[in-house]
Structure 1
Amino acid sequence: MRAQRPSLAAAGNPVLALLFLWVLSWGHVTAEIDIANMTALQKHVSFFDRNKDGIITPSETIEGIVAIGCDYAFARDFAAPVHAGLGPKTSPKDAPLPHLSIYIKNIYKGMHGSDTGALDAKGRFVPAKFEEIFSKHAKNRPDALTSLEVKEMILANRDPDDPQSWAAPIQEWGLIYGLASDKNGYFHKDSVRGIYDGSVFVKLEEERASSQSTVCRSLSFRSTV
């Protein structure tokens, strides 16, 4: 069952809203990307590169979030802080200002702490660390996580010396858990694996296309982590 979409801190921010209106009216150059040798992290974000030119604009992220099952207002509010944080980190020096587009080639520069370690510093998938997610945290079923277990995993991976990195895992895992967990609240291993290479987004887009649902499931554990 679908419930109300969550509220985000970025909602109602007039500065970001104005920047979005500015950026949404732009065209932009392309960026080279080695498709055959993309890292898992590059594959993860490339779902949102809707025209496959190596650059993700705010409007493309909004389109991608809507495609996986959220309404436009939620997608806009979700995309704003993502681009404000990752755009400057991944943009080359000669990229058009204000550097809000995300360059897939440099996405590893935007990696944050307090994560699972299933991606290395270059964004490559680490199978052993992925398996640790389930060996350490999957208590009810060996092949799935409950909301509580996702919450425990996020807390266990927090870096006490880097509190600024705590929010990102909550936002990322919360969104995908809310959309991809089953009706009993289980987040299955294949869906979790699909986060790292972006295949879960493709699956969610296909499901939305067939159901025409446009409201995100409530992220009930978000505010309690």
Structure 2
Amino acid sequence: MAVQNTHGEDMVVRSIRGVPVTEERRPFLNSGGKLQHAGTARANLAPSSESPQGTTSNNWAEKHSHQTVLQQHCDFFDRDHDGVIWPQDTFIGFHRLGFSIFLSWIAVLVIHGNFSYPTCSGWLPDPFFRVFIKNIHKDKHGSDTGTYDTEGRFIPQKFEDIFSKYAEGRNYLTIWDVSNVLKGQRCIADPIGWGGAFFEWLATYLMLWPEDGRMMKEDIRGIYDGSIFYSLAARRSRSL
């Protein structure tokens, strides 16, 4: 399959019949779409084919232009916006999102037990297991989708590849699609990455808990930039 880019040059997406995985997992091809330069990482925007300007509701993109997309993902849990997430902040945040007390404590143990130390500025671990948002890019782990780069930026191509490769181009993921994502993105000898990816996708499914079993693409994008956390918390507080 071949298309022309904006400069009139042919771009070809090839597969190799003798290597079936290249046919099974075809990458996203932005043929004449609104999403330009999909392979270029965005520092503070999380665009998709459906939302090429990122999240515009409630003026999200402008209000958070000073943060990387990965920092935006963490913003909801930083209740006083001082750049530090305490274990109790994570507990309260997950509980506000509808998680039980038990699951909220599990989230605290997983997140602060694994992700606190890399964000510390010095060699010594933080005695309170806090997560420092200015260094959150150091928590990037393997066996993920690659949507965040190692600087905390958002790569639209990698986000779109999730749905192109594992959901046959659909705009939603089922639990079986997520299973394929986890298996397909798994790197060798990377137990921390395997565990991190499993925890993140499990939390995403439990958080969205779609009645029809379909996690919609734009909802997942909203988790990447953190914008959906505020709307989910507000919706659930009104239902109490």
Q: Are 1:197 and 2:211 an aligned pair?
A: no
Which stretches in structure 1 are left out of the alignment for 5+ residues? 1-34, 213-225
How far has the Cα of 1:99 moved from its partner?
5.0
Q: Secondary structure at the match of 2:116?
A: helix
Q: Secondary structure at the match of 1:166?
A: helix
TM-score by structure 1 length?
0.74
Corresponding residue for 2:18?
none
Percent of aligned positions with the same letter in both sequences?
37
Separation in structure 1 between the aligned mates of residue 153 and residue 125 of structure 2, nearest angstrom: 28
Separation in structure 1 between the aligned mates of residue 192 and residue 85 of structure 2, nearest angstrom: 24
Corresponding residue for 1:56?
85
Corresponding residue for 2:166?
137
| Preserved CA contact (<8 Å) 2:98 2:207 | yes
How far has the Cα of 1:69 moved from its partner?
0.6
Which stretches in structure 2 are left out of the alignment for 5+ residues? 1-63
| Preserved CA contact (<8 Å) 1:91 1:99 | no
Corresponding residue for 2:19?
none
TM-score by structure 2 length?
0.70
Q: Are 1:172 and 2:180 an aligned pair?
A: no
Q: Secondary structure at the match of 1:51?
A: coil
Separation in structure 2 between the aligned mates of residue 119 and residue 105 of structure 1, nearest angstrom: 15
Corresponding residue for 2:184?
156
How far has the Cα of 1:74 moved from its partner?
1.6
How far has the Cα of 1:37 moved from its partner?
2.3
Partner deviation per Cα, 1:51-81 (whole Å, 9 max, x = no partner):
1110000000001000111122221121112
Equivalent position amino acid for 1:128 in 2: Q
- Higher helix proportion (structure 1 or 2): 1
Aligned length: 178
Separation in structure 2 between the aligned mates of residue 162 and residue 48 of structure 1, nearest angstrom: 27
Separation in structure 2 between the aligned mates of residue 115 and residue 96 of structure 1, nearest angstrom: 25
CA RMSD of aligned residues (A): 2.0
Separation in structure 1 between the aligned mates of residue 107 and residue 99 of structure 2, nearest angstrom: 10
Structure 1 residue ranges (4+ consecutive) displaced by more than 3 angstroms after TM superposition: 94-97
Equivalent position amino acid for 1:103 in 2: F
Corresponding residue for 1:77?
106
